[in-house]
Chains A and B, each alone.
Chain A
């Protein structure tokens, strides 16, 4: 971090930061942009394969279970819960960043804890869903679900589903780890001593990105 160097103002070697943001934040944006292309490539390859197939399993028949609801047919119910958990944890992250802007150490800690809880709740939901699908016989290379038109489906459906939701779940997991690190640093007073909470802002950007990607995963796998 070049922020300690108040005497030598060669921030970006040009003497000024052109976008009025710190280097780290701009680079976080560029990382997220490249990550968007990674996820985009995954989802588009899924789309390509789906467009090249004559038929495809109906998501409403695959994802219709809810924990504790037995064999009740509840399409979209569980995934909506997951979506709302992620949206709410995104909101608590916004509040954590805002508390950071105000230099409110306790506020940052409080909202970060809520964000971490949200992230863990989402991961638990995903773990339950994966376990449930695995019990039904679905896994990489195995697809028990028939196509919507009644023909036997290839394993493309499960392969893409587990790969992409797995990759997203890995992002959620690393987001939770990053948030835990932020919480520890905050509680140890690192940001207080530094004089600003911009680190929280960068962690926040990552966390919102995870939410953003879920919006598209939700669309591609569950809705259409």
Chain B
């Protein structure tokens, strides 16, 4: 019973050294901020690419993929350091993380489905295609 600041359900206590802890939090904060800044930079790059006439679709897709990866990195740091999941017992981590693997199927299946729906409609139901470019001028504002 050295530090009694725990419930009896916790049978051993992980030591959080104060200095070490502060260092880790500071490091993670800086890391999260830097990643966010990089994301913003990429966001603005995508914006400028879109402004210049014909955007290069592959380039835009590449940048968007990069932002997705950076977001996953941010999520990892928040969960593992701020939420201390990284410090838990491995089996507990697995009970939380393994069900989340469903997202791999979830995202892939639904996005592919959406895409296929678009392609099928464009091929077989031409009347559904948004009508020839209406100049997005002020007069079209306010209508659905």
- Residues in A lying within 8 Å of B, measured CB to CB: 1-3, 6, 9, 11, 16-23, 26, 29-30, 33, 36-37, 40-41, 44-45, 47-55, 58, 60, 75-76, 80, 83-84, 87-88, 90-91, 93-95, 98, 100-103, 137, 141-144, 146-152, 154-155, 195-198, 204-205, 208-209, 211-212, 215-216, 218-219, 222-224
Contacts and interface: CB of A to CB of B under 8 A. Distances in A.
Contacts of B107: 44, 47
B12 to A, nearest CB: 6
Interface in B93-144: 95-96, 99-100, 102-103, 106-107, 110-111, 113-115, 117-118, 121-122, 129-136, 140-144
A98 B126 CA distance: 60
Contacts of A88: 29
B38 to A, nearest CB: 11
Nearest to A103: B5
Given A147-B130, A219-B68, A52 B79 contact: no
B134 A152 contact: yes
16 contacts: A2-B9, A6-B8, A16-B11, A26-B92, A47-B111, A47-B114, A54-B130, A58-B50, A83-B36, A87-B32, A98-B16, A98-B25, A147-B130, A212-B75, A223-B43, A223-B64
B96 to A, nearest CB: 5
A80 B36 contact: yes
Nearest to B68: A219
A21 B40 contact: no
Contacts of B89: 19-21
